[in-house]
Chain A
Amino acid sequence: DTGVSQDPRHKITKRGQNVTFRCDPISEHNRLYWYRQTLGQGPEFLTYFQNEAQLEKSRLLSDRFSAERPKGSFSTLEIQRTEQGDSAMYLCASSHGSGYEQYFGPGTRLTVT
């Protein structure tokens, strides 16, 4: 049973650099979600995809953030011109569809120095 995978698991970058994260969902899942979690807080929703279509973006997703899911399989989340406030755990989840259980990956921990 292959769960949700994320790569890399850890990323340290300098302020102003661009970073890209990858998420591979469970293979038969058509919905894919991105969340961000800071220390001591619950995850916050960023955006989600139904197949390759990006259906919703949270107001947390500033212009420096972009997400893609080109063939409805894996997804990438890019952060341009990183800021120290971007330091967080970025979590990806997938589900069969609307209202179904969401399964999370191990996350990518980003540290911006």
Chain B
Amino acid sequence: KQEVTQIPAALSVPEGENLVLNCSFTDSAIYNLQWFRQDPGKGLTSLLLIQSSQREQTSGRLNASLDKSSGRSTLYIAASQPGDSATYLCAVRPKGGADGLTFGKGTHLIIQP
């Protein structure tokens, strides 16, 4: 059974810092990995999708990497801003079986102004 773990569970940093969020998964047989942002009480906003054949994806100040063989992904946020405060969720789409995503519990990020 695929399991996704996100470390750290919570992180608080001052504005302007670069930071890294970690995601690991137990089964490397995945189609893709998706990073999401969730604001309190709201739905999920897709940030980046990395296909299993890709190593990284970039969008603005965000960069996500994927090392499928070791079951790891990182989300790098450059020059953090208070508006980046949210919970960041990592999810994998396993190969075979259902098309649903398997999620981690998320990293709760606070950027201090």
B99 touches A48 (CB 8 A): yes
Contacts of B25 in A (CB 8 A): none
In the complex, A98 has a CB within 8 A of chain B = yes
Q: Quick check: is B93 within 8 A (CB to CB) of the other chain? A: yes
Segment with Cβ contacts to A, from B13-21, B29-37, B64-72, B77-85: B29-37
B49 near A41 (CB under 8 angstroms)?
Answer: no
| Distance A102 CA – B89 CA, assembled complex (angstroms) | 13
Cβ contact within 8 Å between A56 and B100: yes
* Contact surface of B with A, Cβ cutoff 8 Å: 4, 31-32, 34, 36, 41-46, 49, 51, 89, 91, 93, 97-106
15 contacts between A and B (CB under 8 A): A33-B99, A33-B101, A42-B91, A43-B44, A44-B103, A45-B100, A45-B101, A46-B100, A55-B98, A56-B97, A58-B98, A98-B31, A99-B32, A102-B101, A106-B42
